[in-house]
Amino acid sequence: MSPHAIFEALMLLSFAASWPFSIAKTLRTHTVAGKSPLFMSIIEAGYVFGILFKLTSPGGPDWRIFLYILNLLIIGFDLALYWRYRDTDRR
């Protein structure tokens, strides 16, 4: 395995490890103060582009595509929580 593949995987795992803290805080407090749906949507788009890159790469996708999908799902869940609890912050 190339060093590039290892570094890419470590980057994706680092991001995947950080989002659950944000999700846990939202679930605990039922508030999304300070969260930006635009920011999360841009991050989501980045992961979609990463997945598309992996799907269209020479030799086809490799195992790291699952890390992109994992991150996409985690941030998608956090974004869903934003829409669920945004009215709580408006009151």
pLDDT tens, residue by residue, 14-62: 999 999 999 999 999 999 999 999 999 999 999 999 999 999 999 889 9
What is the spatial distance between Cα 70 and Cα 84, in angstroms, rounded to a whole number?
A: 21
Looking at residue 91, what is its pLDDT?
63
Q: How confident is the model at residue 1 (pLDDT cuts 50, 70, 90)?
A: confident
Residue 90 pLDDT > 90, yes or no? no
pTM, to two decimals: 0.88
| Start-to-end CA span in the chain (Å) | 52
Task: Dihedral sign for Cα 56, 59, 63, 64, please.
Answer: negative
What is the spatial distance between Cα 20 and Cα 13, in angstroms, rounded to a whole number?
A: 12
Looking at residue 12, what is its pLDDT?
95
